[in-house]
Structures are given as C-alpha cells and as structure tokens.
Structure 1
Amino acid sequence: MSKQKVAFVTPGSFPIPSAGSSSVERVVEKMVPWLAADVEPVIYGRSAKGLARIGQVGGVRCVRYPAQDKGAYVRAVSASARRLGPDLIEVENRPGYVLTLGRRHPATRIWLNLHSTSFIGADAIARERLRASFRRAERIIVNSEFLRDEVVRRVPEAAAKVRVVHIGVDAERFLSRWKPEGAARRERLRQARGWQGRDVVLFMGRVIPLKGVHHLLRVLPRLIAEHPSVLLVVVGSPFYGSHRTTRYSRMLQRLGRRLRGHVQFVPYVPHDAVPDWFLAADMAAVPSGAREAFGLVNVEAMASGIPVVASRAGGMREIVVDGETGYLADPARIEQELGDRLLELLRDSQLRERMGRASRARVEQSFTWQATARRWLEVLAETAKRP
C-alpha cells in the first residue's frame, strides 16, 4: 500500500528552519520528520534569504513561498498542493486558511492543528467563519486538554472532531543535569556565566504581560531576604527573533535595577541556545496567565532535569505534576504561592534533585517528538477506519 501524502501548511509568519521562529513552526520542524516512515509529508512555509525555494527539513521536502501577502501565500501553496495531490492537508493554527484551501480543494481532507487560542478569538475571526472552518475540518488537533475544552466551549458542535496530541522536545538535545555529559556541560556553563555559588531561577519566554514576569520581580525581594544567593535570570524579549522593547519590558528593567546583583536580563536567544540556559539553572518559573494553551518551556525545563514552578492554569496542569516534578501555583494567589514554592526549592537541594530527576523521566515517557508523532499517526489511523 502506498503512503498517504500529507501537506503541512504553516502560517507563513516565519521560515522553516529558523532560529527565531515561533513554537508553531518549531513543532512542524521537529515533529513532521518522525512521520516520514509512515506517510509522505511535505511542509509549506515562508521563503527567506539563504533558503532554497524547495529544500529539506529533517529529510522532509519543504516548499517555500513569499508570505508578506498572506492571501498570495495561501494561493501559491494551493497551486503547489494541486500539483502534489495530497490525500490530506493539515493547516497549522490558522482557521481562515482552512476555508480558503477548502474551497480550492473541495475533494481533499483537511485538518486544523490549533497551537493556541490566538486565532480562534472574536478579534481574530468572526464566529460564523470559525464555525464554518470547524465544519470543513475533518479533524481538529489541539496540544492540550485545556485547548480542547476552549474549542468545544466556543463551537460545541465541533466536539466530536477534536483530538489531543501533546507536543514535546528533543530529549537528546536537552541534556539532563543528572547525567554525566549534562553535569559536565552545566559546570562549564555556570563558570562561564559567573553563577558559582548562586541558586538560579530561570524564566524563559516572551516578555509580555501574559507570561507573568512581573510576578517574579515582585516576589524577588522576599526571596532575596530569605535566600540571599538567589539569582533571577529572565531570558527573552517581547517579540520573536527581535530585541525590540515595549513599555512593559522597560518597566521590568526598572524594577530589576532596584534589585541589582539579583536579576539578569538576557535578550531573545535563538532556540538552538535554549537548552544551555535551562541546563545551567536550578529551577524554572512559568507564571503564565490562563490562556497558556500548553507551555513548551515547561517540558524543556523538565527535560533538563530541573523542577518547574508554574501557574495552575491552561495546559500547564497537564505537564507539571504538582509535588512530583515541581509545583503548581494558584493563579488567584500567584505571588504568595510562587514565592512559597520557590523558597521551598531554594532551601532544599535534595528536593530539587528528586523533582528534577522525576521531571526528566516524565519527559522521556510522555513528551518527546516521537511520542507526538505516534499520537498523530493514531489519529490518522482512526480516520482511515471511518465508514
């Protein structure tokens, strides 16, 4: 039996591969190559200087088009897909593209893979267009139970189509601090950064209000008073692939100047550099708001063998096991509980090790790209059995 042809259509916001892409493109780049043994995938993405129009991403064919004009981008993708003749088109995180491609490929099965709530809100798409998009989609893939519930709340009639496929990390690239290779690299990194004798709390992500960095700056004076060796490291910028600032990020910098010696701000780093920041830290803090659909940084931190203190919100409740791989803080009491839990970890190195080892084990069991691909293929097999 010949393999099914599957076209993965990314939003066109960032090229693939790209050190400065969003998590949408990263998921496609990392997960799709694991499908190649079972299906014949093709990735569609944005063109960029230095990237061939037709190339390879992890051994998978990648076709690139200019995407300054999103309408022209989707039309170009559609024309290419017509020549390809895919059995299935999967649209990544853009319900509107489902409608456009659905009209142009009326006989082709189309899936929608939602990575967040960003493009299903009223400010992004009219309710009737969203319902029409969900009607056209054969399956709606989401990365968390939280996001599934959000989809069903907005469009109840779509419930039977929604399937959860958790995303993951490259467990070989994210070294565990508890294994010899990771321990040696961690020591070199901490020496190079002058972190000897410091207990490092790491925030990694976009520096926007939703991510809750201000909560960390507000609890830090208490942490310093009770554990003077603490160092908060904030890695990230307001925008993907950019060092541009905003009023919010400048406000955080002002707060940080009052706590000199205990706060370090690191502008946006490419994703290739992310593993080393987690590996060198002692714990991660993820105080995001309720709309965090998954929170890939939680899994990346856990893969590095460090515990996570995260909000009991969104999809993070499905990743962090409270009291086992870290702690979940009540969003209604976020600063009090964030401070309490971080202090517990700062004071107890054995607790950090126990939770860090459990974190790595949980990632290896449930949150690798191989596991993501297996679950995706299960959904594909399920649709093949339909009447």
Structure 2
Amino acid sequence: MTSRDKPRVVWVTPGSFPVPYAGSSSVERVVAEVSRRLAPYAEVTVVGRLGAGQARSETIDGVAYRRVPRMRPLAYAKAAAAIVRRLAPDVVIAENRPRLARELKRRCPPGCKVWLSLQSTTFVAPHHIGRAELRACFKSADRIVANSDFLRRRLAALVPSAAGKIAVNHLGVDPDAFPSRWDDPQALEREELLASHGATGRKVLLYVGRLQPYKGVHHLLEAMPAVAAAHPDALLFVVGGAYYGSRRTSAYSRRLQRMARRLRGHVRFVPYEPHDRVARWFRAADIAVVPSSAREAFGLVNAEAMASGVPVVATNAGGIGEVVAHGETGLLVPLRNVPDGLAAAVSELLRDPERMRAYGEAGRRRALTFFTWQATAMRLAAMLGVGGV
C-alpha cells in the first residue's frame, strides 16, 4: 500500500495530558496504542498537549505527533484546528470531548470529515453539557465511535437523532505487555513482588484504578470484613491514586484510608503507579476486583486482568458485561447490593483454586480473541475503508 492509497487521519486528544506519556489518562493511552497499529493503513497524526521533555513535533512508531502547550479548552481547540487545516486530512477524530468535535468542524476545511470518539459518559453528562448543546455537538460529527454497546445505547438515548451514526469499537490490551500469570517466566517475578510486600502465601485480591467514588472502591472495602472472616489469609492491594499521574489525595481517597484502618492486615494501599508498571500487579493477583458503578462504559482493567490470566469479580455495570463473561472468565455481581455480592463472589472463588485458574486461562483466551489493541485498530481501519476485518 502506497502513502497515496492511505487516508490521512488526524487524531486530536483532549489536551488534558501529554501523549504518549506513562502518567496520562486511559484516553491518551487508547489513542497512542490504537494509532500506532493503525499507521500501516493510514497516515496518522496525533495532536496533543506538550509535556516536559517532549518535542513539539516528532514521529514515533510511524505516527506523527504535533504538540501544543497546555491551554484552556477553546484555545486548545483553535490551536488543534490550525494544525488540522495545514495537514488537510480526510478524517479528523476528536477524542472524548463533544465540544472539541464541534469546534473542529467549525474551523476545519470543507470536506474534512469529523468523527467523535467517546470513552465514557463523563463529558455527555448534564453537569458537563446541556442537552441542546450536546445535540449540536453530535450533529456536527459525521460519525460517533463508542467503546461499548452500553455507551452506544446511552448516547442514542441522549440524542436519538444521532443514533444512526454511532458505531461501537471495543478497546483492548497489549497481550505482550500483560503476559499470563500462569506462564513459568512470570512465577518468579510474582513471588518476588509478594515477598517484598510481606504477602507470601496470601490469597491476593487486586483493585487497580483511580480512587474515585464511581469506581466503587468503598463497596469493596465494605465487602472485605466478610471476605476476611471466610478467608483469614486474604489480602487486598488497592493500586492507584485519586488523580492520574499524581500521588495527591482527595477527600474520597482519605475516606478509603480511614475505612481500611478497620481492616488492618487485610488491605494495603499502593500509591499511583505509571501504567507500564501495572502489569506486574495483575500477575501477582489471584482475583481482580472491579466494583464500578453503573456509569462504567468499558473498564480497561477488565481486559488487562483477563489478558494476565486473572479471574475477574466485577459489578454487572455499564459495559463490563461485554468484556467479562459471567461463569467463564469471572463472576458478575448485581448492582442492587454490591458489598454483599462482592463478598460472596470473591469468597466463592477463593475456595476453588482450580476454578480460579480455569477462569483465568479462559480470560486470557477471550482477551486475545476479542480485546486487543490490534483488533481495535483493525476495526477502525475498516471504518475508514482500508484494511480492517
């Protein structure tokens, strides 16, 4: 395929974090992971915020990066649009910000298609944007790409007139970066990590993610007394912080710390870790627990845990049921009584090591079949009319 055959795509990140950067949010990670796998099929440029030590312009893994200093959203949209006009792409993708899609459509040259890619319900919620403005933003987009069927349905309910242009493209994981905990080379690293935390021989539960109320970590801590009573050797590691790329605390994260004091010996907090250090924690876990609320659109940690060969206990919330197969790769808990449901499901699995391994190995197979970044990129290529599946 020659460069002349390839569509020109400019992918505009929200500008909140540098890209690519280990301390960025999952949104920037999605763009970085998918764009480099899309590069064989399209001329891809990613526009984002300039980070410390980064060049304003460089090419990484076949993707051209163009960066601007940190600025307010409207100024950022104007700066991004100026770059887009110079590049004259066939498609510009506005990432996870409806207003960004509208501003790019206003400022980009005629004939340039504007797609809106959405990863969560956050920036379509009423406290972020009014319904009339959201309709206008959706109208400006030629295509809207949601990361789950749950999110597609939610968007269609918010703006029924846009339903026909919403497509679904599930997210993924790099299976090489998240090898199975059951592979022999991972066993020594797992034991070394547990030993360094005084956790050798413990039944290890793992939460990975931000410490935000909608992530439901308080429900998990409420479930732990019952888990500890049934399994005195159970130990929960809570890996993450209140904010991306920071060890700053919040009122909620401090509340969690207070809750954990009643569970001394059964809960350990691990401050924020860059994403490239997270995989080792999955390999150390017996069960990954994802206690999210109903607004969780996808939950990358589910795919990462499954790729790591770890069974998942999660709430049957949002798009999680599209990732975790109940009774095959883990257990899903109804939202009506989350703490009791988590406690029962976790305790049930901890009593059955053979079942945990079977779920973990099935999860690895499912992740490699359906939830890889390569698959995500190929579906996007198909939407662009090149390559694809």
TM-score range, shorter chain: over 0.9
Q: Over aligned residue pairs, what C-alpha RMSD do you find?
A: 1.4
Q: Which of 298, 303, 306 lines up with 1:302 in the alignment?
A: 306
Structure 1 runs not aligned, ≥5 long: 383-387
1:333 aligns with 2:337: yes
Counterpart position of 2:348: 344
Is 2:143 aligned against 1:139? Answer: yes
Instruction: Note the C-alpha offset of 1:184.
Output: 3.2
Q: 1:75 aligns with which of 63, 75, 78?
A: 78
Task: Read off the aligned partner of 2:25 and give its amino acid letter.
Answer: S
2:105, 2:114 within 8 Å by CA — same for their partners in 1?
Answer: yes
For 2:286 and 2:257, how far apart are their aligned partners in 1? Answer: 23
The alpha carbon displacement at 1:22 in A equals: 0.8
Match of 1:60 among 43, 60, 63: 63
The separation in 2 between residues aligned to 1:295 and 1:163, in whole angstroms, is 18
C-alpha distance in 2 between matches for 1:103 and 1:223 = 55
| 1:2 matched to 2:9 | no
Matched ranges for 1:181-260 at <5 A: 181-260=185-264
Counterpart among 294, 297, 301 of residue 293 in structure 1 = 297
TM-score where L is the length of structure 2? 0.96
Residues of 1 paired with 2:305 and 2:211: CA distance? 17
1:379 counterpart = 2:383: yes
Residue 118 of structure 2: aligned partner:
114
Matches within 5 A, 1:257-268: 257-268=261-272
Task: Determine if contact 1:303/1:359 at 8 Å carries over to the other structure.
Answer: yes
Q: Secondary structure at the match of 1:170?
A: coil
The answer to whether the Cα contact below 8 Å between 1:47 and 1:66 also exists between their aligned partners in 2 is yes
Q: Distance in 1 between matches of 2:82 and 2:157?
A: 35
What's the counterpart of residue 355 of structure 1? 359
Partner of 1:276: 280
Q: Percent identity?
A: 51
Shift of 1:114: 0.5
Amino acid at match of 2:230: E
The corresponding residue for 2:14 is 11
Q: Deviations along 1:248-273, whole A, 9 cap, x unmatched? A: 21121112112111110111111111
Q: CA deviation at 1:107?
A: 2.5
Give the whole-Å Cα distance in 2 for the aligned partners of 1:311 and 1:159.
27
| Contact preservation (8 Å) 1:237, 1:267 | yes
Which digits, 9 at most, give the CA deviation of each residue in 1:71-100, with x for residues without a partner? 222211111111111011000011111111
What amino acid is aligned across from residue 55 of structure 2 in structure 1? A
Alignment-mate amino acid for residue 8 of structure 2: K
Confirm or deny that 1:86 pairs with 2:118: no
| Pairing partner for 1:313 from 308, 314, 317 | 317
Amino acid at match of 1:357: E
1: distance between equivalents of 2:179 and 2:198?
A: 21
Q: 2-side partners of 1:57 and 1:26: how far apart? A: 14
Greater Cα offset, 5-14 or 57-66 = 57-66
Q: Distance in 2 between matches of 1:381 and 1:149?
A: 24
Q: CA deviation at 1:56?
A: 2.6
Matched, 1:30 2:33: yes
Which of these residues, 48, 51, 54, is aligned with residue 51 of structure 1? 54
- Measure the CA separation in 1 of the matches of 2:220 and 2:6: 50
SS at match of 2:377: helix
Aligned-partner residue type, residue 39 of structure 1: A
Residues in 2 aligned to 1:265 and 1:168: alpha-carbon distance in whole angstroms: 26
Residues of 1 paired with 2:93 and 2:26: CA distance? 16
- 8 Å CA contact 1:292–1:316 kept in 2: the answer is yes
Q: TM-score, normalised to structure 1's length?
A: 0.96
Instruction: Write the distance in 2 (CA, Å) between the matches of 1:52 and 1:146.
Output: 38
Name which of structure 1's ranges 45-54 and 123-132 shifts more when overlaid on structure 2: 123-132
- Is the Cα contact below 8 Å between 1:163 and 1:379 reproduced in 2? no
Residues 17 and 57 of structure 1 are in contact (CA less than 8 Å); yes or no, is this contact kept in structure 2? Answer: no
